[in-house]
A = this chain, B = another copy of it.
């Protein structure tokens, strides 16, 4: 079941009173994984409400803590503007269902354009096979049901496919590309989905059950050029039942357009 990103992340203002506003949203079953809405998609829903409220149009930094997985269907977005500055503004945003907070986030907005970076360190875009030489992930396999893969064209580099056939590389890194199906370019909101759309990076170490996100932060660094983005999604440490994942998103000009980091729960098989 397809629904465009713009439709699926739509919000409707219910009321506004000074620094507070509330919106309704309808979480679409397609933008999820195994019955649970995708985390990046939830951030895009919150971000869309925030961008509709404030002085600055673009999400530049989001921090979200995931308290309980929301169901698909109706949800409430509650906002409180905490600070409006000249260059950035910050809003508290809660995604709620039946009076309970599912995702609590802080969203900072500013102004973004397509200006190239002034300086870049050791963060060259990785060598990733061309779109047509990557493998598109499908929504239904023997092991997983990931309807999100019907909403996006997400393709992994051939070197990142080992985990799907029982042969992870052990490096904890997945490389690939993502295109939106209905829009020519990513924007600051759909980039929040790109930051969280890949399979868990620790699958390239060991394929486990659900890897629930505890915290996710994302920075949007520029408006991307048209076309698919390149994504590197990698884990660094699995310790004490948790794993970190760092995600970098480049546009086709090689500009870093988004960066994400998350901490998730994980349970490896005893070894």
Contact = CB atoms under 8 A, between A and B. Distances in A.
A240 B205 contact: no
Interface stretch (A47-55, A60-68, A126-134): A60-68
Interface residues of A, number: 61
Interface string A176-219: 00000000000000000000000000100100000000110101
A171 interface: yes
Copies in the complex: 2
B239 A121 contact: no
Interface stretch (A5-13, A38-46, A136-144, A230-238): A230-238
Contacts of A240: 111-113, 115, 221-222
24 contacts: A61-B214, A63-B64, A65-B108, A82-B101, A83-B101, A92-B92, A110-B242, A116-B239, A118-B239, A118-B268, A118-B271, A119-B238, A120-B237, A121-B172, A121-B235, A217-B261, A219-B244, A221-B239, A221-B240, A221-B244, A222-B240, A237-B256, A259-B261, A261-B261
5 nearest A-B residue pairs (beta carbon): A63-B63, A117-B239, A67-B83, A61-B215, A119-B238
